[in-house]
Amino acid sequence: MNTQELNLTSELARLLYYTAHIATTIRQRSRQATGRTHRLKNGKDIWQLADTLHNFDLLGHAILANNPQTMLRVCDLLLKDYQRYIERYAVPLANVEISGNIKAGNYMVDLQEGMEIITEIKTRVRPFTKMASAH
């Protein structure tokens, strides 16, 4: 009998916080934002930021299904997506218009942080894939 239980509470809490930060960044950079804010010069950049979130549902489904193998595969997919996003689409600070007294970087999204959270989930899940394959 397996007495060990997969607990992703800390990692999922960090992921929720990170997701909210991305959503806030998108909101503050959109054309509808008023006042002092960072605005991206290209509306496409907002879509690219949103793309960093769109596969989190796959992770949610795998966690709800309590399927460690699928969780691991989804984490690999997410890490690959994030790496590709960083290499191809990351928005340099030079592409951000700054108005008011806001310092550059206040509302930037640290994509490496997202990768760290996903890697932590993967590390936490990996032993459970070995247990599942042993049975």
Q: How far is CA 112 from CA 2, 21, 86, 116, 135, in A?
A: 34, 14, 9, 6, 35
Q: Is 38 in a helix, a strand, or coil?
A: strand
Confidence band of 104 (pLDDT split at 50, 70, 90): very low
- CA 54, CA 78: separation in Å to the nearest integer? 10
- Domain limits, the chain: 9-134
Beta partners for 96?
40
Is the confidence at residue 83, as pLDDT, over 80?
Answer: yes
pLDDT-based confidence at 105, cuts 50/70/90? very low
Q: What pLDDT score was predicted for residue 31? A: 65
What's the pLDDT score for residue 33?
Answer: 59
Instruction: Pick the more confident residue, 59 or 103.
Output: 59
pLDDT of residue 103: 46
Give the pTM: 0.77
Q: What pLDDT shows up at residue 54?
A: 85
**For residue 14, pLDDT beyond 70:** yes
User: Would you say 11 and 117 are in contact if contact means Cβ atoms under 8 Å apart?
Assistant: yes
